[in-house]
Amino acid sequence: MKLILILVLSMSCGCAHRQFVTQPYPRWGQEVWLSRNDRDSPLPMRVQMPPRPAVAPACILIVHGMNEYIGRYDEIAAYFARRFIVAGFDLYAHGLSNPSLLAADRAITGGASEFDVSDAYLAQASLRNLEPMRRDLDQVLRRLIEVCDQRGKPGLPIFILSHSLGSLISASYLLEQAPEDDLRSRIQGIVFLGPAFSVTEVPGWRGYFQTPVVKLSFYAEEHFLRSHGEPLPLLIANQALALATVPLLDGLFEVLSWPGLRHIFSPTTPGWVPDYLSDWEEERARHRADGYIIRRSILRYVKGVEGEIVRFRREMAGFATPYFLVYSAGDPITPAWGSHDFAGKTFDKHPDNQILPLIDKVHHEQLFSAPPLRHELLRKIEGWLDRRLSSINQVAAERANNAR
């Protein structure tokens, strides 16, 4: 699900938290299991075909956000599968990639009335960064290319539809790929929805206590052993702050993520978060009741995500994949300044880049907006995909003419 860095340990106590699954995992499309290495469970992938796959103009891969799962995107997948080949997958430690949630689904489908998934968050214990999730993304993309080439026309372009942490995973993955990589050449665009290019700004009275600490940690990480061109006195002050703050917090969060302590110090999702996920009370209620959404986060994982944001921001000026960026101007979960910074360094890199700020909105999950906004956003995304396809076809036609 979302990116929440709560560094005030007195306010991040895990306390007693019980969570149960009472419904089968919501499936869409065809379920495909991909083999990981010997120590990891298989990777679940979903593929939904349009009525006529042979004439599909492109393939779309949906990448979900932090602590959520791909099964929630059934309506989104169905919308795009009217024309496109659509796929999705559960990121490492999420959804059916999480052993506890997979066991819960099997128990419920086997007749159990409920299954305790209070410890599902422990699957995050090995996560110090997003590399396992980037590996998942790479594996799924390569399988999707095989599916698209077999069921559609060979060489179909691939588009990524990403949300929140899924956007950070996808964007950092694309930055890592070499330009000559065959996979990179197939990815012709990405949609960012509320991307995690910034850290949370806690709203309300809690923000007076928590947001300054979050920003201090983030500021120290950004300046740790790096100059930002500031005057020498400020450089010295920034490095002193970073050298005192970053190793201390890294070490503290690592210790508090150890077995035993992590049961006490893994924070639960703050109560205000569901209020900012959607502008639709029906969707908020659905989210609160969803047992497959993970409600706690190990601090090592949270700190690792912060470090990933810092690293991405250092390199994001090199991002060259065409994109459609959608964000809510008042979103406190992934605040707009991250999207502004990204667009400021990348918007001019491609003529098809497009930005859609939702000026009067504060919710984070744009694809789970109340109708009619949800339908309007789906149409706008589809329109951008058609624009990209038109550009791709035009470039191909020009190359064909030049080759004659």
87-108 pLDDT tens trace: 999 999 999 999 999 999 999 9
For residue 34, the SS3 value is: strand
Q: Is the dihedral of CA 307, 313, 319, 322 positive or negative?
A: positive
Give the containing element (helix H, strand E) for 325.
Answer: strand 323-328
Q: Report whether pLDDT(69) > 70.
A: yes
Q: Report whether pLDDT(162) > 60.
A: yes
- pLDDT given at position 396: 82
* Strand 115-116 to 20-21 pairing: antiparallel
- Mean of the pLDDT values across residues 365-394? 97
- pLDDT given at position 178: 65
Note whether residue 212 is domain-resident.
Answer: no
Q: Report whether pLDDT(8) > 80.
A: no
Note whether residue 241 is domain-resident.
Answer: no
- pLDDT given at position 10: 36
- Mean of the pLDDT values across residues 239-264? 91
- Mean of the pLDDT values across residues 34-45? 84
| 179 confidence band (pLDDT: 50, 70, 90) | low
Note whether residue 230 is domain-resident.
Answer: no
- pLDDT given at position 23: 97
Owner of token pair 């790096």: 226
- pLDDT given at position 2: 42
Q: Report whether pLDDT(210) > 90.
A: no
Q: Report whether pLDDT(4) > 70.
A: no
Q: Report whether pLDDT(398) > 50.
A: yes
State which residues form the domain around 280. Answer: 17-204+271-403
- pLDDT given at position 271: 87
- pLDDT given at position 16: 57
Q: Using the 8-state DSSP alphabet, how is residue 296 labeled?
A: B
Note whether residue 389 is domain-resident.
Answer: yes
Note whether residue 93 is domain-resident.
Answer: yes
- pLDDT given at position 108: 98
Note whether residue 302 is domain-resident.
Answer: yes
Among the ranges 196-210, 238-252, 343-357, which has the highest mean pLDDT value? 343-357
Range scoring the smallest mean pLDDT among 110-119, 182-191, 285-294? 182-191
Stronger pLDDT, 28 or 206, i.e. the higher one: 28
End-to-end CA distance of the chain: 51
Q: What's the mean pLDDT when you consider all of the chain?
A: 92
Q: Angle, to 10 degrees, between the axis of helix 299-315 and the axis of helix 336-346?
A: 30
Note whether residue 225 is domain-resident.
Answer: no
- Mean of the pLDDT values across residues 340-365? 98
Stronger pLDDT, 207 or 203, i.e. the higher one: 203
Q: Report whether pLDDT(390) > 50.
A: yes
Range scoring the smallest mean pLDDT among 33-37, 144-148, 276-280, 360-364? 33-37
Question: pLDDT tens digit string along 305-335?
Answer: 999 999 999 999 999 999 999 999 999 999 9
Q: Report whether pLDDT(216) > 90.
A: no
Q: Is the dihedral of CA 273, 334, 130, 283 positive or negative?
A: positive
- pLDDT given at position 5: 39
| 180 confidence band (pLDDT: 50, 70, 90) | low
Note whether residue 216 is domain-resident.
Answer: no
The CATH number of the domain holding residue 101 is 3.40.50.1820
Question: pLDDT tens digit string along 14-36?
Answer: 455 799 999 999 999 999 999 98
Q: What separation in angstroms does the CA of 175 have from each of 21, 54, 130, 166, 171?
A: 37, 31, 14, 14, 6
- The percentage of the chain sitting over the pLDDT mark of 90, rounded to a whole number, equals 77
Total domain count, the chain? 1
- pLDDT given at position 15: 53
